[in-house]
Amino acid sequence: MRDEDRRDAELALQRQKLALEAVEALDSAGVERAAHLEVGVMIEVPAAALMSREIGAAVDFFSIGTNDLIQYTLAIDRADEAVAHLYDPLHPAVLQLISQSIAQARAAGKGVSVEIAPLRICGCRPARSTPS
């Protein structure tokens, strides 16, 4: 088995395990839920953005949280007044990571939303072949 196939299989198993734990917790608490729960990923750190192709194989949708992604990409603590002015949502490195994540999500046929607090600036779902 190739390393890439092994990694995809491991991600799929982790997804199944986490989804099962969530379903069991909801059921044991008597919480009503949908018959099928979608599992998504929050892209908030550069490593997750860079691995978005691999992650996409194991999830149903993407959400990109830009506050942390910007902070960690630029190594800027937005709460530190000495460097907060360097926090730049339009920095080319940030835009490239967001663009790459969106492209990988779409290539995998996954929905994606990009959120810049306090606004959701993009919410896209791929077309479904059957009504939901």
The string of pLDDT tens digits covering residues 95-125 is 999 999 999 999 999 999 987 655 444 445 4
Per residue in 2-40, pLDDT tens?
Answer: 777 777 778 778 888 888 898 899 999 999 988 888 888
User: Which amino acid appears at position 32 of this protein?
Assistant: E
Angle, helices 66-74 vs 92-107, to 10°: value is 130
Please, how many CA atoms are within 13 Å of residue 23, restricted to the half-sphere of its CB? 12
Bridge partners, residue 113, by sequence? 63, 123
